[in-house]
Structure 1
């Protein structure tokens, strides 16, 4: 199927409507993952990436959404998009006033964070952890949800030193706050993210547990043991049993400390060449 030459020509049009329609045609085409490789091999990915820099917001949104479909494919297909310098557009666009554009970018980044350790490091090196966290803290709910999925993917797929980049009271507080939402899949993602965060935070696991307790996260996890969804109940129960104990037990995991006593260093254990995230 010789669609490539036509697509290349249409993406070069000066008519914004033609360009927008072409991007959405590619977007719909790549919803079938078996077709993603056709687009990658066509050589038009760099052109789609360049359209993220368009002056037309609707074209920016369409381009990011289309590229987001491509990075749901294999690691190699994802890398083809990253190699086209897509991340360089995001430090400013992540806080763009257009909410749909920000949601698309957070969704795109959550897919990258579900990739390889080196791909996660590219996001960190591009300085994108700060805007991801800002969107999780202050975006509308759709944006917060996608940003939280990005954090959850980092906790699941990232190396220990990469996870330590985000361990901070503001991050944990905002992340735990999402446990009171009504989105079952998001609640499960956050519970799994907290479990991965605690598991990978050694030898500072105690300090992370204290931060979760002090922001009210532990209370929220305890409440979820009564959730009607059985998987959420099991995840909450496992977290409590593994990392926390009741206050009336003599060997309580969490001693009486306050935030001023916590000396957790998010840069501890960073490998040479990695870039620590500064709040």
Structure 2
């Protein structure tokens, strides 16, 4: 056991940085060893080092497919349910790296059954960082295809996201917010309608007063505003309902015209100009209309990202 523990630790360190000088055959051999450990080890310390090896391997796009080809993903699902926090945390990071990659690789993770345990972690874990990582995984699923978004909706994740946003720490809420933003940006009309009908607009709008004074979170604030604007711009039956909900918080939107982040100011000005043109106070903000109504806009499609970005 001592030799196995030391060897697994050494193996994980070989892949600690992405510039390893190894052939695909050598990498595949390492993956097969890790797979055996995931199958058979009853020692959680050894298992954690094996999972760290997988976590390091899946940080590199070219080796994710080798990991999937080794049929390791179904072995990760039980570790997502582990009572050992270190095992669970490392397994979540491996899964997160995989769903941050291509849509095909995300499909492979979903087919392996990772969605339900990830949802359970977000819903029930008492560990702040684990909930954050779980929300990150889910946000990258909603940055994928409409079929992947639908699986998340069918799992009932939306109501959990609303609950998280209403009461969790900013650390977790930031990642959960991306779930909503990505869904709005990439979802079908029916998926957006489900979002609206279940209270998604209120949840998204609640991010505005929560983050309006936190400069470090101005990026997600801009994305939330842009997502609301995108929904209002859509030709659908949701528009009047969304407007009614947003109008309750117009005072906060008006305050944001003096925000210290130029992107936030531009985004909120564009939102007000496009969707609430009759608002008299619109022209009372700082700067001229030309200055406030620039054409700065955020990307129209969701993108996957690595935790911490």
Shared fold (TM-score, shorter chain, > 0.5): yes
Match of 2:142 among 92, 113, 123: 113
Match of 2:164 in 1: 135
Change (3 A) 1:165 1:175: farther
Q: Does residue 206 of structure 1 match 2:240?
A: yes
Q: Alignment partner of 2:163: what SS?
A: helix
Structure 1 SS opposite 2:271: helix
Which of 219, 230, 233 is equivalent to 1:196?
230
1:171 to 179, 203, 219: 203
1:21 aligns with 2:55: no
Contact kept? 1:110, 1:146, Cα under 8 Å: yes
Between the aligned partners of 1:29 and 1:224, the Cα distance in structure 2 is 43
Match of 2:69 among 41, 51, 54: 41
Q: Name the structure 2 match of 1:89.
A: 117
Q: CA RMSD in A?
A: 1.9
In the alignment of these two chains, the number of paired residues is 247
Greater CA drift, 28-37 or 232-241: 28-37
Displacement of 1:56 after TM fit?
1.2
CA deviations on 1:80-113 (whole Å, 9 max, x unpaired) are 0000111122443222212121111100000000
1:144 aligns to what? 173
User: What is the rounded CA distance, in whole Å, between the counterparts of 1:201 and 1:101 in structure 2?
Assistant: 38
> Aligned residue for 1:74?
102
Secondary structure of 1:165's partner? Answer: helix
SS of equivalent residue, structure 2 residue 264:
helix
1:40 deviates by 1.3
Q: What's the TM-score, normalizing by structure 1?
A: 0.82
Q: Does the aligned pair in 2 maintain the 1:111–1:150 contact within 8 Å?
A: yes
Do 2:35 and 2:72's aligned partners in 1 also have CA atoms closer than 8 Å? Answer: yes
1:173, CA displacement in angstroms? 4.2
Q: For 1:75 and 1:121, locate their aligned partners in 2 and report how far apart those are by CA, in whole Å.
A: 14
Matching of residue 8 in structure 1 with residue 30 in structure 2: no
Given that 1:179 and 1:220 are in contact with CA atoms closer than 8 Å, whether structure 2 keeps it comes out as no
Is the Cα–Cα contact under 8 Å of residues 64 and 98 in structure 2 kept in the other structure?
Answer: yes
Q: Is the 8 A contact 2:202 2:245 kept in 1?
A: no
Cα distance in 1 between the residues matched to 2:177 and 2:202: 13
**SS of equivalent to 1:54:** coil
> Hey, what does 2:10 align to over in structure 1?
none
**Structure 1 equivalent of residue 59 of structure 2:** 31
CA contact (8 A) 2:80 2:88 kept: yes
**d(CA) in 2 for partners of 1:89, 1:174:** 27
In structure 2, the CA distance between the partners of 1:173 and 1:224, relative to structure 1 (3 Å rule), is closer
In structure 1, distance between residues paired with 2:58 and 2:231? 33
**1:231 CA drift (Å):** 2.2
**Structure with larger Rg:** 2
1:163–1:200: 8 Å Cα contact kept in structure 2?
no
Q: Once the 2 structures are TM-superposed, how far is the Cα of residue 171 of structure 1 from its aligned partner? A: 1.9
User: Unaligned regions of 5+ residues in structure 1, if any?
Assistant: 250-279
Contact 1:178 1:190 in 2 (8 A): no
Q: Deviations over 1:47-104 (max 9, x none)?
A: 1122101121221121111100111111000000000111122443222212121111
Q: TM-score, normalised by structure 2?
A: 0.75
